[in-house]
Amino acid sequence: MFDAALRAVAGRAAVESHLAQVPGSSFPVVFAVGKAASSMARGARAVLGGAIQQMLVITKTGHADPELAAVPGITLLESAHPLPDARSLAAGAELVRRLQGLASAVRPLFLISGGSSSLVEALREGVTFEELLALNERGLAAGWDIAQLNTRRASLSLLKGGGVARLLGTRRALALFISDVPGDDVDVIGSGLLGHDSGQADSIERHVIANVEGAVRGALDAAAAHGLSFEAGARRFDGEAAEVAARFVGALRETSADGLVWGGESTVRLPGRPGRGGRNTHLALAAARLLRAGESSSILAAGTDGTDGPTEDAGAIVDSGSVERAELAGCDVERAFREFDSGLALEAAEDLVHTGPTGTNVGDLLIGIKHSAKSLRGLAEPRML
């Protein structure tokens, strides 16, 4: 189900599908920024081909497609996430340079996905990198939601909060977004990298081409194909990860369906020295602690981008035996939960999910099934993806 969800919102396919509906358009210059930038860039190449003269792709380290780097005219930059570093400023400088050098007749194409906030930056006059880093660290530690964090980021930036629109002026442009934010607000995605400039009207045409609801539908369709009845959440989940876990476990117990699929994004408040993990592994461990002995439910909590915070884990699949397996492997589960070292506990339980970069980024998914895979399919219950 998780795999089907990812395929439903794949960056390449989403860009291909949208551009195929824009016949006759020419985009000689393409900018792709975000965790899904490589996948989206490949979608643009599939449709536009040799019409693309220049392409700048800025993505998270480890998420770059090496095939793109070998294509003439494509510049591929790997940058930092979740905290910016010198590479973020270098990528921002390159983006600004290219925007300022655009010929007047060129209509550029922008491909934007989550992660852009950290990956590319140019600071307002008088703002230091230390101030930017401190803001990001404070926001992540305090568990600010994405809208609050991005609003604060924009106050320091030349690019965020409509900054690219200001640089483009009245130039026409097309911007396609893969959304990982509440309400699919283009003024929030990537801290509003291609959002509206409140000080002036612009000529940017904006379209959200993939979001978490599409991923949820993909998971539901996969369940139905196997004869299973799953329910979607009434709205996107949010709030503190442990509280979300409690709501999800409660809803899973109460539903008459085979299981649940929720999409959204939780938050965590980090201690001064957190261990290995992110919001999804913390949520998964919280759920595992709530499952009763012998309860047959299994729960997946994972990021659709294939990474959970600063880790290379996508998340985890837990069940009522997860805590016991971790403890038998020598892990103090309560310490791990308290100190946000959930990745260590779930590694000990052999519950971590690894996908690698997925080519999309629409937030997080929670998938819960009320019966073991073994009882439904006659197969061993999967431990890893």
Residues 196-222 have pLDDT tens digits of: 988 788 999 999 999 999 999 999 999
Q: What is the mean predicted confidence (pLDDT) over 273-280?
A: 90
Confidence of residue 381 (pLDDT cuts 50, 70, 90): very low
Between CA 177 and CA 33 the distance in angstroms is 10
Between CA 232 and CA 234 the distance in angstroms is 6
Per-residue model confidence (pLDDT) at position 375: 52
Q: Tell me the pLDDT tens digit for each residue of 285-344.
A: 999 999 999 899 999 999 999 999 889 999 999 999 999 999 999 999 999 999 999 999
Between CA 232 and CA 224 the distance in angstroms is 12
Between CA 364 and CA 281 the distance in angstroms is 11
Higher pLDDT, 355 or 382: 355
Provide the 3-class DSSP secondary structure of residue 19: helix
Q: What is the mean predicted confidence (pLDDT) over 275-292?
A: 96
Higher pLDDT, 186 or 373: 186
Model confidence at 383: pLDDT above 50: no
Pull the structure tokens for residue 338.
């308290």
Average pLDDT, the chain: 91
Closest CA to 338 of 272, 251, 384, 264: 272
Per-residue model confidence (pLDDT) at position 40: 98
Q: What is the mean predicted confidence (pLDDT) over 116-140?
A: 87
Confidence of residue 13 (pLDDT cuts 50, 70, 90): very high
Between CA 146 and CA 136 the distance in angstroms is 11
Between CA 210 and CA 181 the distance in angstroms is 11
Per-residue model confidence (pLDDT) at position 7: 98
Confidence of residue 273 (pLDDT cuts 50, 70, 90): confident
Closest CA to 56 of 1, 10, 96: 96
Model confidence at 146: pLDDT above 90: no
Domains of the chain: 2-210 (3.40.50.10180), 213-377 (3.40.1480.10)
Q: What is the mean predicted confidence (pLDDT) over 96-102?
A: 96
Please list, in sequence order, all residues whose beta carbon lies within 8 angstroms of the beta carbon of residue 304, skipping any fewer than 6 positions away.
5, 6, 9, 180, 212, 215, 358, 360, 361, 362, 363, 364, 365
Task: Using a pLDDT cut of 90, give the percent of the chain over it.
Answer: 74
